[in-house]
Amino acid sequence: MASILTSFKDDALIAIDTLADRAAGLVNPAVRLGVTGLSRAGKTVFISSLVHNLLNGGRLPLFEPVRSGRVFKVRLEPQPDDAVPRFQYEDHIAALVRDRAWPDSTRAISQLRITLDYESASGWNRIFAPGRLSIDIVDYPGEWLLDLPLLEQDFRQFSDATVKRACSGSRAALSREWLALASSIEAESTADEAKARRLAEGFTDYLKACKDDHRSLSTLPPGRFLMPGDLEGSPALTFSPLPDLPKGKPPKGSFWAMMERRYEAYKTHVVNPFFREHFARLDRQIVLIDALQAINRGTEAVQDLEQALVDVLACFRPGTNSWLSSFLTRRIDRVLIAATKADHLHHESHDRLERITARLVSRAAERIGMSGAGLEVMALASVRATREATVNQGGHALPVIVGTPLSGERINGEIFDGETKTAIFPGDLPENPDVLFEDSAQSLPELNFVRFRPPHLEETRGGLKLSVPHIRLDRAMQFLLGDRLA
């Protein structure tokens, strides 16, 4: 009954927030765009490039309102939520354009408002007044999104699922020390703070090892264990799943009861406020994924990314908003799953990357599609760091990409200094994406992915740098925002 009452309370608070947003929207129409992604997928880069291209007249031929000239003024404005940190666009774009360095990754929630004045595509609407739309971009770590399924799991379910996952594949070796320590503690023994701290540290070390670039696993809740912020050291982050829990309820004062209480505190004070105050207020959502990194790490990483996306998409409240219901409830009516770093491939492989992305979300897509939500997948590069070329090899023309690898990147034994350009044949993605998901696959394609520096941008005669180059950023903008600027 308590969970039902909590749900009613949350729904009431969400309805109040939505009503306030809609009332404000009658004066200044706005759309809340959630931008998230799993580790190193490029959330900060996506937002910076989107805003920079809008502000600086970037090439956006597939974004109809800009292509047709209907958008006549674009500006940054103060965000509506004063308690949320501002997305520091100016710092991030300076890193990209001036320093040719990728900005720091998302560690907490932030927000930015960009407002577009436009002429409606409808002659009837143009009679009354020019249109205006504020886009409130909400940036948050994908790890927080992966926490939302915990709201429907009690401590036993969380423990069973986490321990089962920890015993599979490469995780088994990574979790050995943590599980050995957890198994040595009697669940019904007296609560002990020192043991709790050591166990939580062991659990955190296991999660960090899974996330490491050498493995690139994606399903890693609780997300705040990897980015604790000001919660570091708090009881809400000092717990761990427990293996082989006895039947029944935990004895009062036991170690088991302590872990269960702290797990529930994590949901109450960390996960639930994020859901109610931020996630439940979104209108549109883009989820960025680094599919190439997972492919590079093999079948296990690909399967783990697929499971993470199933968990992620199950969190959404998809569906269409009617005029009346939209004043009390909010549904995300368009979701874009975007595989980033398309510039690391020759364009001939982009359609294959999109097919792999579609395969990654196929299970979850069935559920969302039945709910009436618009779901799209695409391959994009928020900032294009390479150009395409061909080289002759053995009398054959070989398609390559040309760019400046980051300092320390290694290709065929050569270590790059961050200044030298090189041509790379990245390899071919498989035509049939299913081979990437099969445990029995004997051979996966040989791929050669490295990280590149942002491109050098030429300056105009007036000393202004050109807008950031991209791949399909305009297509993403059209899907996410085009109908709101009609």
Q: What does the domain layout of the chain look like in residue ranges?
A: 2-140+278-384+472-485, 151-272
Provide the whole-model pTM: 0.87
Whether the pLDDT of residue 140 is over 50: the answer is yes
Whether the pLDDT of residue 6 is over 80: the answer is no
Average pLDDT value over all residues in the chain = 86
Give the model's confidence band at 374: pLDDT under 50 very low, under 70 low, under 90 confident, else very high. Answer: confident
Task: Specify the range with the lowest mean pLDDT, choosing from 3-7, 43-47, 108-112, 155-159.
Answer: 3-7
How high is the pLDDT of residue 463? Answer: 54
Beta carbons of 359 and 309 less than 8 angstroms apart? no
pLDDT, tens only, 230-283:
788 899 999 999 999 999 999 999 999 999 999 999 999 999 999 988 888 999
Q: Pairing state of beta strands 284-289 and 131-139?
A: unpaired
pLDDT, tens only, 189-216:
999 999 999 999 999 999 999 988 778 8
Tell me what percent of the residues of the chain surpass a pLDDT of 70. Answer: 86
Going by CATH, does the domain composed of 2-140+278-384+472-485 fall within 3.40.50.300?
Answer: yes
Q: How far apart are CA 431 and CA 263, in angstroms?
A: 44
- Alpha helices (H) along 115-247: 123-126, 142-145, 155-166, 171-174, 176-184, 193-211
DSSP state letters, 397-447:
EEEEEEE-BPTT-EETTEEP-SS--EEE------SSGGGGG-TT-S-----
